[in-house]
Amino acid sequence: MRPASFLRSTRLEYRHPELADVPRMVGWINDPEVRRHLDQRVFPLGQQAEEEWVRGLPARVAARTDVVLLVLRQSDGEPVGSTGFHAMNWLARWAEFGILLGREHWNQGYGREVTSTMLRYAFQELHLDAVRLRVNASHQRARRAYVHAGFVEEGVLRRAAWVDGAYDDIAVMSVLKDEWRPDEGG
């Protein structure tokens, strides 16, 4: 029996990751194209480390610091990636957004669909006031997906990333609740 989904969007559904999902997640994260713009991914990720990370998720959810969701295609239940909120700040009511899709699922608008869905979850269910992210300035694919979903750039951390043998800037982007339009990127 398929585990129940927690959220749904047009083509996708979202649920808590389970240990059985770990081999797929490890495959995505170790893919050089996928990890190219991710922090802390210049060391290989093993199955055991990822299992421990997944085992630690319920405690982080209980502490209300993180929400992590596996993203699956509704039509056949195929996992396509993961997404989440991290470092959730309940005083100022904002969180950092993260997303990762397996390479074979890029360029089908899933990045935009997931981002839009997570904004709806953030503002309508979690009652956050802002969602923020950091993205390498040269990561055009991600930036386009984020802009489509309603993010705007609010600042730049100069030479804060190292990508493909060169420094890159990091763009800080955000959506404030009162700027957000539910239909954006839908």
Ligand X SMILES: CC(C)(COP(=O)(O)OP(=O)(O)OC[C@H]1O[C@@H](n2cnc3c(N)ncnc32)[C@H](O)[C@@H]1OP(=O)(O)O)[C@@H](O)C(=O)NCCC(=O)NCCS
Minimum CB distance to ligand X smaller for 22 or for 142: 142
Residue among 178 and 183 whose Cβ is closer to ligand X: 183
Which residue lies nearer to ligand X by CB, 79 or 81?
Answer: 81
Give the list of residues 6+ apart from residue 153 with CB closer than 8 angstroms, or none.
171, 172, 173
Distance CA 88, CA 134 (A): 15
CA distance 112 to 74: 16
CB of 185 to ligand X, least distance (A): 8
Beta bridge partners of 89: 94
Residue 117 beta carbon to ligand X: minimum distance, rounded to whole angstroms: 12
Q: Are 131 and 89 in contact (CB under 8 A)?
A: no
Two tokens, residue 127 = 């009652």
- Output 103 or 127, the one with its CB closest to ligand X: 103
Q: How far apart are CA 94 and CA 153, in angstroms?
A: 16
Q: Which residues contact 23 (CB under 8 A, 6 or more apart)?
A: 47
Rank residues 110 and 180 by Cβ distance to ligand X and give the closer one: 110
Closest CB to ligand X among 123 and 168? 168
CB of 154 to ligand X, least distance (A): 15
Q: How far is CA 133 from CA 13, 58, 73, in A?
A: 22, 23, 24
Give me the least distance between CB of 100 and ligand X, in Å please. Answer: 4
Residue with tokens 């979903």: 149
- Percentage helix, strand, coil for the chain under 3-state DSSP, each rounded to 5: 35, 35, 30
Least distance (Å) from ligand X to the CB of residue 1?
Answer: 28
Interacting residues toward ligand X by CB under 6 A: 34, 37-38, 81, 99-101, 106-112, 135, 139-142, 144-145, 148
Residue nearest to ligand X (CB): 111
Minimum distance, C-beta of residue 140 to ligand X, in the bound complex (Å): 3
